[in-house]
Structure 1
Amino acid sequence: MKVRFPLWPTLIVSVAVLVMIGLGIWQLQRRAEKEAMLALVAANPAKPATAFPAFPPVPAELLFRRSSVHCLHVVRWHSEAGRAADGSTGYRYIAECRTGAEGPGVLVAAGIARMPDAKPSWQGGQISGWIGEEPDHRSLLSRIGGKAMPLRPMLIAGEAVPGLARLAPPGAADVPNNHLAYAVQWFFFAAVAVVIYLLALRKRASPPADPR
């Protein structure tokens, strides 16, 4: 049985497969870049304190460096899953602070609580800790397409504010490095697309069944 390859469907599938393979190779390149960045980040907590960055993105040479900010007033609180200094888990409370009449403001991860409905009494002031980034809720597609907004700087408090427990100090393990997994996924998708298309062609070329 001879299988014929229709021009346009074959061209479309070939382009899609090449794109997926290209994305897989790109993720492998990103993995090497991320590993070099993690080596730099791992040494940052031991370096001297530095000025807190006002605008995103946070460069690798500043991530997890010691710093401090002055929260003029807490505008609002929000919480999400986090880890305490003693290794337990809970809800990390992040304060959105005003730093002046104008300007970008600042985010402060002020501490952790067992319950999601805690009401921290802290209203602002000088606070020190480590330079981090806000939680990443960006979609994978937006990041791949280059349309994702950079993550804003966030101070991770070294000491918890009243009513909250101390957060775990940041480290290189907190930086996700999923590029190998993403690469494997893209290569897998490319292989599946090829297999499905070949099966479809084989079915299309099969002679019709005898109705008798």
Structure 2
Amino acid sequence: MTEQPDPAHAPRIPVIPTVLVTLAVLVMIALGVWQLQRRAEKAEALALAAANPGRPAVAFPKLPPVEPDILFRPSSVHCLAVESWQVEAGRAADGSTGYRHVAHCSTGAEGPGVLVAVGVGQKPDDRPAWTGGQVEGWISQEPDHRALLTRLGGKAAPLRPMLIARQAPAGLKPVAPPAATDLPNNHLAYAVQWFFFAAIAVIIYILALRRRNTQKSA
């Protein structure tokens, strides 16, 4: 006669924690799939941006986001006054590296102002002797300092437009013209990370259930 398992010692799966973990895993998988879709969209945007520097000039955008059809297009702005400076690692047009000086400019009594990457220097604490004026260059985006998890979840605020100046003031080198290679397509890596998080969550929960059932049966 076959021995029947004792229902009292059968492994039990807690309902509420299992539902919560399942929902979390489904959300992570959905975010991974969404990043794969964004990867295809980003590839199209990069192809468009690669051709934009040679296209006719357009008006500089006042607000983010910078649409792919104008990214890297020639444009110009008028910096009424430099309110502050921002320093980032950067590359000059001659291929050398240094510190890119970004001016935060006012454009009038009202309005969001404008960012202008005016040139590349060798010392981060130097302040260019540039106080503003009319600037010609290419439309780009501000340096991206958004948190990784915020970007992974697609909740990051859009990057503000920034003009890369064609000419640099005295003491600085011109900034390297924008190129599509400056915009990496990281969406595949983001998708893999979300799928990895989902797999780890499942493994951890299974191990936790086994440990729980082992302790109860002991």
Task: Calculate the TM-score normalised by the size of structure 2.
Answer: 0.89
In structure 2, distance between residues paired with 1:181 and 1:49: 34
Alignment of 1:158-169 (within 5 A): 158-169=166-177
Identical counterparts, % of pairs:
66
1:72 aligns with 2:74: no
Match status 1:37 vs 2:45: yes
Identify the residue that residue 4 of structure 2 maps to in structure 1: none
The alpha carbon displacement at 1:100 in A equals: 2.1
Deviations 1:144-182 (A, max 9, x none): 556533222111011111111111110111113111001
Q: How many Å separate the matches in 2 of 1:5 and 1:42? A: 54
SS in 1 for 2:192: helix
Match of 1:37, SS state, is: helix
> Given residue 68 of structure 2, which amino acid in structure 1 is its aligned partner?
A
1: CA distance between counterparts of 2:195 and 2:86? 38
Change (3 A) 1:40 1:64: same
- Confirm or deny that 1:59 pairs with 2:67: yes
> What value does the CA root-mean-square deviation take over the aligned residues?
2.0
Distance 2:73 2:190 in 1: 29
Q: Find the counterpart in structure 1 of residue 201 from structure 2.
A: 193
1:57–1:173 distance in 2 versus 1, CA, 3 Å:
same
Corresponding pairs, count:
210
Q: Which has the larger radius of gyration?
A: 2
Shift of 1:142: 3.6
Q: What is the letter of the counterpart of residue 82 of structure 1?
A: G
- In 2: Cα distance, 1:187 partner to 1:47 partner: 40
Q: Does 1:104 align with 2:112?
A: yes
Q: Compute the displacement of 1:208 (Å).
A: 7.2
How far 1:103 sits from its partner (Å)?
2.2
Q: Counterpart of 2:101?
A: 93
Which amino acid letter does the alignment assign opposite residue 200 of structure 1? A
Q: Deviations over 1:62-109 (max 9, x none)?
A: 100001111122121121111112222211101111222322221110
User: What is the match of residue 137 of structure 2?
Assistant: 129
Residue of structure 1 aligned with 2:56, choices 48, 58, 73: 48
The 10-residue stretch of structure 1 (53-62 or 134-143) with the greater mean CA deviation from structure 2: 134-143
Query: Which of 181, 199, 204 is the aligned partner of 2:212?
Result: 204
Quick one: structure 1 residues 73 and 24, their matched pair in 2 at CA, closer, same or farther if it must change by over 3 Å?
same
Gaps of 5+ in 2: 1-8
What are structure 1's unaligned runs of at least 5 residues?
none
In structure 2, C-alpha distance between the alignment counterparts of 1:2 and 1:86, rounded to whole Å:
72
- Pairs within 5 Å for 1:168-179: 168-179=176-187
What is the DSSP-based 3-state SS (H/G/I as helix, E as strand, rest coil) of the residue aligned with 1:206? Answer: helix
Question: Cα gap change, 1:21/1:209 in structure 2, threshold over 3 Å: closer, same or farther?
Answer: closer
Q: Calculate the TM-score normalised by the size of structure 1.
A: 0.91
